[in-house]
């Protein structure tokens, strides 16, 4: 099986499943995020995991082609960079996260974009 399809099959349903409860309830998203942002240790540890996941994607799928597979490469690089920020500056990340929680339109748009991303990956992975 091609790497792009394998990664799409792995990420698509997870991203989609995570986005559904957040679309239904922005309150839930805020509650989860506030709990997460209270813990510098959790931000730091998640940064390590996110960075490792991103490096796994980038090391197996660093394709810069102008088709749907570019989404996987960009997602991998975003994970590497986002994970590194969490490890290097967890308190800064907490501050940025707190400021985002007050912006309802931004949150709603982000969750919808996340769901679309999950749908696209699921579509290309399974259909």
Calpha distance 12→34 (Å, rounded): 25
Confidence band for 122, pLDDT divided at 50, 70 and 90? very high
CA atoms within 13 A on the CB side of 22: 21
Of 21, 82, 27, give the one whose Cα is nearest residue 51: 82
In this prediction, residue 26 carries a pLDDT of 87
Of 117, 40, 25, give the one whose Cα is nearest residue 79: 117
Asked whether the CA dihedral 87, 12, 119, 63 is positive or negative, the reply is positive
Q: Where are the alpha helices (DSSP H) in 25-103?
A: 26-37, 40-60, 69-88, 90-101
Q: What is the pLDDT of residues 51-97, one digit of tens each?
A: 999 999 999 999 999 999 999 999 999 999 999 999 999 999 999 99
In this prediction, residue 1 carries a pLDDT of 67
Q: What is the pLDDT of residues 2-44, one digit of tens each?
A: 999 999 999 999 999 999 988 898 888 899 999 999 999 999 9
């Amino acid at each position: 099986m091609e790497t792009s399809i394998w990664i799409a099959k792995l990420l698509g349903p997870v991203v989609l499943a995570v986005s559904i409860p957040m679309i239904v309830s922005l309150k839930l998203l805020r509650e989860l995020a506030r709990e997460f942002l209270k813990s510098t240790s959790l931000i730091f540890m998640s940064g390590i995991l996110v960075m490792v996941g991103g490096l796994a994607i980038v090391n197996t799928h660093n394709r810069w082609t102008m088709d749907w597979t570019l989404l996987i490469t960009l997602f991998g690089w975003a994970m590497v960079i986002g994970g590194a920020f969490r490890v290097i500056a967890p308190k800064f990340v907490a501050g940025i996260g707190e400021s985002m929680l007050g912006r309802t339109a931004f949150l709603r748009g982000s969750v919808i974009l996340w769901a679309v991303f999950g749908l696209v990956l699921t579509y290309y992975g399974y259909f």
